[in-house]
Amino acid sequence: MSATAEAHLASLARPDAPPAIVMDKVNKWFGSLHVLRDVTLNVGNGERVVICGPSGSGKSTLIRCINRLEQHQEGRIIVEGNELTDDLRSLDAIRREVGMVFQSFNLFPHLTILENCTLAPIWVRKTPKAEAEALAMSYLERVKIPEQAKKYPGQLSGGQQQRVAIARALCMQPKIMLFDEPTSALDPEMIKEVLDTMVGLADSGMTMVCVTHEMGFARQVADRVVFMDRGEIVESGTPTEMFETPKTDRLRLFLSQIL
Ligand code: ADP
Ligand code: MG
């Protein structure tokens, strides 16, 4: 295990690595509700994909299936070469590689910022405490809040808490980061600081799948934008293709509502 943020992020560039994520004709139902319909999506190593679409279109379900917070019923999902099956070892292997950041920051309120960041490395990865703390501090520096390490989440602003949540996920040294609307619970003045952190991460070569409606962010970092509606991937392309020359009425309608 590399002991600094820099060493971890520098290790991400692996030109010969397998695709980060392969989803092949994935279907999922909640009861009789068909929420993912033949979703096929490949994410290359180091690729940045932004997923957008109306509320209820299946965006959260799609990314939650990637680390098995939700279970798909048909099709295949392969993450960093490991297929998601009922085998717990494959699940363990995948959760090791995948970090996730949610809309609500989900920090532990009774633990300090530093303790939030070292909990999983110490208990799950069995990293010695001093090493976990040094690593956590290097990530807190990266997200530009090392001075908050001894405080509790309730003493931080929403934007600061979300940056801690990003640092906490990074402390497990994942190869892939999933973001589910990380800025949509934030006051407008805090959105930029979180997006800036995500841009920095994208620049470091991290494979990222982000559900967001921040189209400026999508233009700046996304290799590909994927538009979902009613459980389907309706259209995908570069940010320019998607925003300048949408092919479907559904995407045109969606863009007219958010831009
Ligand atoms: P999005 O993130 O695009 O808003 P979701 O993936 O959260 O969409 O939801 C897709 C559909 O699945 C919605 O109709 C939602 O109500 C439904 N849904 C999501 N989670 C559950 C659940 N745990 N049980 C039943 N239905 C769910
Ligand atoms: Mg959602």
pLDDT one-digit tens code per residue, 169-220: 999 999 999 999 999 999 999 999 999 999 999 999 899 999 999 999 999 9
2: pLDDT confidence band, cut at 50, 70 and 90? low
- pLDDT score, position 196: 94
Centre of ligand 2 from the C-alpha of residue 183, in Å? 12
- Tokens at residue 233, please? 């991937």
Task: Name the residue at shortest CA distance from atom 5 of ligand 1.
Answer: 58
Q: Which of 227, 193, 232, 197 is nearest to 212 (CA)?
A: 227
pLDDT at 259 over 80: no
Indicate whether this complex's ipTM tops 0.85: yes
- Round to whole Å and give the CA distance between 213 and 157: 22
CA distances (Å), origin 44, targets 14, 19, 62: 11, 5, 17
Ligand 1 pocket member 123 (CB < 6 A) = no
Higher pLDDT, 15 or 84: 84
Share of the chain above pLDDT 70, in %: 99
Which letter does DSSP use for residue 44 in this model?
A: -
Mean pLDDT of 215-236: 96
Ligand 1 pocket member 231 (CB < 6 A) = no
Centre of ligand 2 from the C-alpha of residue 11, in Å? 31
Side chain identity at residue 158, one-letter code = G
Centre of ligand 1 from the C-alpha of residue 37, in Å? 13
Long-range contacts of 251-258 (CB under 8 A, 24+ apart): 251/227, 254/52, 254/53, 254/54, 254/227, 254/229, 258/52, 258/213, 258/215
68: pLDDT confidence band, cut at 50, 70 and 90? very high
- pLDDT score, position 5: 85
Most informative mutation of 60, 211, 229 for ligand 1 (most atoms within 8 A of CB): 60
Ligand 1 pocket member 212 (CB < 6 A) = no
Q: Which residues surround ligand 2, an ion (CB under 5 A)?
A: 60
Share of the chain above pLDDT 90, in %: 83
- pLDDT score, position 248: 97
Instruction: Provide the 3-class DSSP secondary structure of residue 122.
Output: helix
pLDDT one-digit tens code per residue, 131-156: 999 999 999 999 999 999 999 999 99
Higher pLDDT, 250 or 17: 250
Task: Name the residue at shortest CA distance from atom 25 of ligand 1.
Answer: 30
Mean pLDDT of 86-107: 88
Index of the ligand 1 atom closest to the CA of residue 54:
3
pLDDT one-digit tens code per residue, 103-112: 999 999 999 9
- pLDDT score, position 110: 97
What's the chain's length in residues? 259
Ligand 1 pocket member 30 (CB < 6 A) = yes
Centre of ligand 2 from the C-alpha of residue 81, in Å? 26
Q: Which of 78, 21, 77 is nearest to 48 (CA)?
A: 21
